[in-house]
Amino acid sequence: MKIVFDARVHLNYFSGISRYIICLLDAYLQQFTDDEMIVLINPTIKSDNAIFKALKKFENVKIETVHTAHMGPKNYLVMGRIIKKYKPDVYHYPHLDAPIFTGKIPVVATIHDTNSNKTVKKFDDRFGLKSFYFKRSLALTLKHAKKVIFVSDSIQKEVLEQYKLAPDKNRFHRIYNGLEADFNQLDRNEASRLLQKLKVSGQYLLYVGQIREHKNIKRLITAFKKFNTAFSEYKLVLVGHNYLHENLSEKNILHIEKVSNRELKALYTGCEAFLFPSLFEGFGFPILEAFSFGKKVVTTDYGATAEISGGLAELVDPLSVDSIEEGIRKAVREDDLSEKRKAHAKQFSWLENAREVRQLYQGAIQTKNT
């Protein structure tokens, strides 16, 4: 089987979609060595990008740079011709605005989330153009793709309701993301050294993710300050790029813009609890990351975060500072669920994800003439 996997949406910063692309490709290529994979990449990514390190060990993959933006009119008007040039059996686009003019080449698309119908946006959208683009693009993807992968039941339900579509087991499929099997592997001495390097010490609560409005950072900080008046020994460590350009340097609050993967593991190792009261998520990788270390998690009581946490997190109302603060108070108490949280995280496998994706590729090829 010959697959064109379009990774142009992966850039130099490591997003959730980037993780999906790299981990899925790695798991797929190590299992299905007879398949030929052509990976299309964005011309802006640097030579030390993680995707090169992940793919260089495989002989059945070819990387092609494509000088066409992964958003906008050219994604539709130009990409079809480029895809056809490679003559693949199937084409996989891991985002909601899949090119659809591929002729008889079947399209598989992955939907991670959608916020074109949300009041709070993930991006600067003062004129509404991005929301219009994503809403229209997703409609086209849902109509034309032979197979559509949703990363959680919650996002599938939300999208199908938004577009007034009935469930279709032949076209719409939920395949959970995975977690790297060795994610929680880190030597204690190395963890201590890395925390010292980051200047993190004592008891602390951890947040990992982009600093954006939909991540609910302002309410999280307010809730922490309220908690901190009674529990002054705790600090809050925020890890992620500050897109809001807010001043995050306050008493007992430390912001770290960027960390390596091993530094991230060290931060999980040392934290008392992980805080993630996001307004909306399509999946919620950090929940599983924290669980893999047995850590308690405070997260949102609806959508994908409630789904992925599997009844093992402190669920809170993200719009209520008091609810978030109460969740933090509960999370710093001792419990006996650490091993259950670790076991839950282990259920999410990239190898299994890749096997399910391959089945969809085969199914899309079988139906390409329908």
CA atoms 7, 8, 11, 16: torsion sign: negative
pTM of the model: 0.93
DSSP string of 231-253, one letter each residue: -TTEEEEEES-BTT-----BTTE
Left, alpha or beta for 252 (phi > 0: left; psi -120 to 50: alpha)?
left
| β strands within the chain, DSSP E | 2-6, 36-41, 61-65, 90-93, 107-111, 147-150, 172-174, 203-208, 234-239, 253-256, 273-276, 296-300, 314-316
Structure tokens, 329: 């108070």
Which of 123, 127, 93, 89 has its CA nearest to residue 108?
Answer: 93
Whether the Cβ atoms of residue 185 and residue 292 lie closer than 8 Å to each other: no
DSSP state of 214: G
Whether the Cβ atoms of residue 137 and residue 93 lie closer than 8 Å to each other: no
Supply the pLDDT for residue 333: 93
Supply the pLDDT for residue 309: 98
| Contacts of 350 by beta carbon, 8 Å cutoff, 6+ apart | 23, 24, 26, 27, 177, 178, 179, 180, 181
User: CA-CA distance, 349 to 195, in Å (whole number)?
Assistant: 28
CA atoms 21, 26, 29, 32: torsion sign: negative
User: CA-CA distance, 345 to 347, in Å (whole number)?
Assistant: 5
Largest Cα–Cα distance of the chain, in whole Å?
65
Q: Tell me how far CA of residue 297 lies from CA of 175, 287, 333, 360, in angstroms.
A: 23, 7, 12, 33
User: CA-CA distance, 122 to 278, in Å (whole number)?
Assistant: 11
DSSP state of 211: B
**Per-residue tens of pLDDT for the chain, all 370 residues:** 999 999 999 887 767 889 999 999 999 999 999 999 999 999 998 888 889 999 999 999 999 999 988 888 888 889 999 999 999 999 999 999 999 889 999 999 999 988 665 667 666 667 777 788 888 999 999 999 999 999 999 999 999 999 999 999 999 999 999 999 999 999 999 999 999 999 999 999 999 998 999 999 999 999 999 999 999 999 999 999 898 888 898 899 999 998 988 999 999 999 999 999 999 999 999 999 999 999 999 999 999 999 999 999 999 999 999 999 999 999 999 899 999 999 999 999 999 999 999 999 999 999 865 5
Give me the domains of the chain, ranges plus CATH numbers. Answer: 2-178+349-366 (3.40.50.2000), 188-346 (3.40.50.2000)
Q: Count other Cβ atoms within 10 Å, centred on residue 40.
A: 22
Supply the pLDDT for residue 347: 97
